[in-house]
Amino acid sequence: MPWLRRPPASSYTSGMKTAISLPDPLFKEAEKAARKRKISRSELYREAVTEYLLRHEPEAITKAMDEVCRKLKVRPDPALSEAARRILEKVEW
Q: Read out DSSP for 27-78?
A: HHHHHHHHHHHT--HHHHHHHHHHHHHHHT-HHHHHHHHHHHHHHHT----H
pLDDT at 78 over 70: yes
Domain boundaries, the chain: 23-90
pTM, full prediction: 0.52
Q: What is the CA radius of gyration of the chain?
A: 18
pLDDT digits (tens, 9 = 90+) for 30-74: 999 999 999 999 999 999 998 888 788 878 778 888 888 889 988
For 74, residues 6+ apart whose C-beta sits below 8 A from its C-beta are: 68
